[in-house]
């Protein structure tokens, strides 16, 4: 039997099929209010926030927090077209060692493409029905300078949006947020909550600071003060692995579940969301669907510490050694007994993807644990091995002599330092934006990482790794 095209008309036959796929049975379209406007509709959003809202609508009858998706960038046209062709429905495929499950998510109710109509996006955010504007715009979308902790005000796109003559055609998220909030202020409405769902520490605090800075750079102290006093920017910790969707995933969905989906989402069964209870204009009862709503940022940070050091740190522990050993996928590395003992993590994800932008990850995921181990004189050999593997990884050549692309904003500097340092960590550790003096001066750390770097260079990953596995 030919697979059924995913759309509203086919939901009943899809649910009645042999695969017993769960589909939304709640009302959609004009029968619900769109209380959430989400900027940056990608795989993670559709596997995370959209799933939580879908469960609220399906299980608890929530009908005033459906999602209006927004794409700000030209490349978002692909998502606009994919969702538009199937009534904004998405299939979420949960993949695990036990097999795969699929469900259709219907919480995304519409999609606005800003390059076609900026005014429609501003009006949607400013509408009284909108209570939350949520974001998954990646780190670069915040224009946040990690060294100065200030807004990258010199960026051409920020400069464009700071010019009052461009008020009706902003380019950046902050340009749209400012324009919409200004409209709500003049209409006497409450500010909507700006809810970052990006995987960044203190994501809410950063968003608040950047938007307030943007308003002040507009010489608009009234708006800046209103945002500071009345706005809400909850900090959150989010977690769910969502690899890029492949052609094979679409084929498997059609073959196994009988669904033809232009852009399904592949993910893991586990998901988590811890969010600070700071909302300026109401919120849905997230607690009813498993969201951990906590009282303040300190509670979020405790959960975040566990995730960054255990989960994201484990990704780094797999990624850099695995790439050097010649593996392509996480599950391939984990099928090797040495890797399985070294760190356990099961997901069919490409190693290059979890190795992306390591200069922003290693200082967050690995180095704090090393610093703490230095302070408490605790063992840290395995942590040093991971850093040593990354130092080798930035050369872009695996143990078999095959080259691979190193996707990192600091790639040129890292490559130059790695080449100059050889098996010594001194050159790479001299990058002060990544490493502190406490590391450069600690003899135990220097000895451990040098030993690991020499072993990897001499013997390769697979022959060095047994020394770090009990």
Distance from C-alpha of 43 to C-alpha of 28, rounded to nearest angstrom: 21
- In CATH, the number for domain 4-295 is 3.40.50.720
Q: Are 4-295 and 358-468 in the same CATH fold?
A: no
Rounded to an integer, what distance in angstroms lies between the CA atom of residue 386 and that of residue 324? 12
The gap from C-alpha 150 to its chain's centroid, in whole angstroms, comes to: 21
pLDDT means per 10 residues, the chain with 470 residues, are 94 92 97 98 98 98 98 97 98 90 98 98 98 96 90 96 96 98 98 96 96 96 97 96 93 96 95 96 97 93 71 66 79 72 44 63 81 88 90 91 88 93 94 86 94 96 87
- pLDDT value at residue 367: 85
Phi, psi of 258 (to 5 degrees): 70, 30
Instruction: With CA atoms as reference, report the closest residue to 374 among 430, 325, 439.
Output: 439
Q: 181, 233 in Cβ contact below 8 A? A: no
Contact 71, 41 (CB under 8 A): yes
pLDDT at 332: 80
Residue 213 Ramachandran class (φ > 0 left, ψ -120 to 50 alpha, else beta) = alpha
Distance of CA 452 to the CA centre of its chain: 31
For 208-259, the DSSP string reads HHHHHHHHHHTT-HHHHHHHHHH-----EEEE---PPP-HHHHHHHHHHH-E
Determine the Cα–Cα distance for residues 353 and 131; give it in Å rounded to an integer. Answer: 34
Inter-residue contact 153 to 213 (CB < 8 Å):
yes
Please spell the DSSP secondary structure of 303-372, one letter per residue: HHHHIIIIIIHHHHHHHHHHHHTT--BHHHHHTSHHHHHH-------BHHHHTTTHHHHHHHHTHHHHHH
Q: Which residues pair with 259 in a beta bridge?
A: 4
Of how many residues is the chain composed? 470
Q: Which CATH number describes the domain made up of 358-468?
A: 1.10.1040.10
CB contact at 8 A, 256 and 100: yes
- Token readout for 15 is 């649910």
| C-alpha span between 206 and 138 (Å, rounded) | 13
The pLDDT value given to residue 349: 44
List own/partner pairs for 251-257 with CB under 8 A and 24 or more apart.
252/93, 252/100, 253/3, 253/91, 253/93, 253/102, 254/3, 255/3, 256/19, 256/100, 256/102, 257/17, 257/19, 257/21, 257/91, 257/102
Residue 444 CA to residue 441 CA, distance in Å, equals 9
Whole-angstrom Cα distance, residue 39 to residue 89?
17
pTM over 0.85: no
pLDDT at 73: 96
What does the buried/exposed string (b/e) look like for 289-318 if buried means 16 or more CB atoms within 10 Å of the residue's CB? bebebbeebebbbebbeebbbeebbbbbbb
The two tokens of residue 467 are 């020394």
**Consecutive H or E run containing 96:** strand 90-96
Give domain limits for the chain.
4-295, 307-354, 358-468
* Coil vs helix vs strand at 275: strand
Token couple for 390: 């990354």
Can you tell me which residue has the tokens 């909030």? Answer: 181
**How far apart are alpha carbons 292 and 6 in whole angstroms?**
32
267, 396, 419 from 401: Cα distances, Å: 32, 9, 15
Classify residue 335 by burial, with Cβ atoms within 10 Å: 0-12, 13-18, 19+: exposed
Give the angle 34-132-30 at the CA atoms, nearest 5°.
5
């Amino acid at each position: 039997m030919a697979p059924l095209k995913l759309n509203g008309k086919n939901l009943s036959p899809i649910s009645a099929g042999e695969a017993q796929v769960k589909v939304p049975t709640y009302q959609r379209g004009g029968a619900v209010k769109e209380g959430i406007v989400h900027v940056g509709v990608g795989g993670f959003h559709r596997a995370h926030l959209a799933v939580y809202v879908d469960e609220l609508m399906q299980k608890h009858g929530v009908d005033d927090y459906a999602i209006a998706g927004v794409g700000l960038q030209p490349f978002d046209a692909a998502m606009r077209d994919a969702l538009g062709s199937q009534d904004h429905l998405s299939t979420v495929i949960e993949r695990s060692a036990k097999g795969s499950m699929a469900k259709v998510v219907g919480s995304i109710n519409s999609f606005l493409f800003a390059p076609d109509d900026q005014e429609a996006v501003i009006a949607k955010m400013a509408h009284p029905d909108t209570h939350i504007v949520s974001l998954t715009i990646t780190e670069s979308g915040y224009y946040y300078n990690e060294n100065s902790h200030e807004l990258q005000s010199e960026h051409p796109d920020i400069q464009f949006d700071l010019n009052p003559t461009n008020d009706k055609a902003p380019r950046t998220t902050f340009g749209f947020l400012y324009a919409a909030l200004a409209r709500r202020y003049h209409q006497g409405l409450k500010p909507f909550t700006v809810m970052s769902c990006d995987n960044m520490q203190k994501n809410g605090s950063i968003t608040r600071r950047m938007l307030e800075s943007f308003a002040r750079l507009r010489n608009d102290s009234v708006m800046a003060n209103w945002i500071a006093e009345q706005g809400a920017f909850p900090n959150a910790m989010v977690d769910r692995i969502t690899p890029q969707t492949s052609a094979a995933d679409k084929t498997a969905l059609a073959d196994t579940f009988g669904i033809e989906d232009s852009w399904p989402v592949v993910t893991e069964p586990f998901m988590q969301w811890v969010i600070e209870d700071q909302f300026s204009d109401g919120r849905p009862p997230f607690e009813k669907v498993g969201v951990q709503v906590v009282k303040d940022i300190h509670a979020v940070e405790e959960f975040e510490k566990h995730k960054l050091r255990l989960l994201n740190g484990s990704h780094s522990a797999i990624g850099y050694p695995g790439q050097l050993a010649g593996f392509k996928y996480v599950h391939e590395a984990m099928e090797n007994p040495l890797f399985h003992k070294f760190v356990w993590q099961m997901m069919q994800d490409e190693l290059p993807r979890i190795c992306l932008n390591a200069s922003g990850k290693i200082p967050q995921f690995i180095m704090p644990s090393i610093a703490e181990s230095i302070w408490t004189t605790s063992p840290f050999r395995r942590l040093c091995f991971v850093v040593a593997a990354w130092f080798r990884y930035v050369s872009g050549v695996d143990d078999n002599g095959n080259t691979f692309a190193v996707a990192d904003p600091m790639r040129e500097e890292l490559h130059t330092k790695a080449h100059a340092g050889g098996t010594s960590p001194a050159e790479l550790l001299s990058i002060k934006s990544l490493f502190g003096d406490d590391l450069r001066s600690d003899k135990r750390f220097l000895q451990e990482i040098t030993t690991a770097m020499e072993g990897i260079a001499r013997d390769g990953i697979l022959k060095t790794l047994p020394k770090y596995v009990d």
